[in-house]
């Protein structure tokens, strides 16, 4: 178990991406960019849980694959398919023209899913994180 590394994954990286994902009121910021950071927050939160359990997180950005690596005895309080769906935002924000623009509902869903995953990771790491 590497609690200090898990804490960094969550407290610095996942929380930072989540803060950026919440920046909807910033002029000139695309919803695609915000969704990308929501996806990043979820990825890093999952990796924090994996590291806390002693695993080396896979070097992948596929959220479904990362969720599959979470031990079965770790309860998940969110819909895995919704989390896996965030994987699409890893590419959508970087290649304009291939997909329809992200609308407000899609952004709200992506943010809500990311918030749920980060909250789950925070709960899973209770006692390991600094106050």
- Residue 92 pLDDT: 67
Query: For residue 19, is it within any domain?
Result: yes
**40-97 per-position pLDDT tens digit:** 999 999 999 999 888 888 888 899 999 999 988 888 888 889 999 998 898 766 666 6
Query: For residue 26, is it within any domain?
Result: yes
Domain containing 63 equals 3-124
Query: For residue 130, is it within any domain?
Result: no
Contact 41, 21 (CB under 8 A): yes
Q: CA 64 from chain center: how many Å?
A: 12
CATH of the domain at 47: 1.20.120.330
Contact 51, 57 (CB under 8 A): yes
Average pLDDT of the chain? 87
Contacts of 118 (CB under 8 A, 6+ apart): 10, 14, 15, 18, 41, 42, 45
- Residue 3 pLDDT: 77
Evaluate if residue 121 carries a pLDDT over 80: yes
Task: State the total domains in the chain.
Answer: 1
- Residue 58 pLDDT: 87
- Percent of the chain's residues with pLDDT above 90: 44
Contact 12, 45 (CB under 8 A): no
Query: For residue 10, is it within any domain?
Result: yes
Instruction: Name the more confident of 130 and 78.
Output: 78
Query: Whole-prediction pTM value?
Result: 0.89
**Measured distance CA(51)–CA(70) in Å, rounded:** 10
């Amino acid at each position: 178990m590497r609690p200090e590394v898990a804490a960094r994954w969550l407290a610095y990286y996942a929380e930072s991406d989540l803060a950026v994902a919440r920046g909807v009121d910033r002029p000139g910021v695309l919803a695609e960019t915000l969704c990308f950071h929501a996806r990043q927050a979820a990825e890093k939160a999952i990796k924090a849980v994996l590291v806390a359990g002693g695993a080396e997180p896979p070097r992948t950005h596929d959220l479904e694959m990362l969720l599959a690596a979470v031990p079965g005895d770790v309860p998940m309080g969110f819909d895995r398919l919704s989390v896996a769906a965030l994987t699409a935002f890893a590419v959508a924000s970087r290649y304009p023209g291939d997909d329809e623009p992200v609308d407000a509902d899609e952004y709200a869903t992506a943010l809500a899913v990311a918030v749920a995953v980060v909250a789950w990771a925070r709960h899973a790491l209770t006692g390991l994180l600094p106050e």
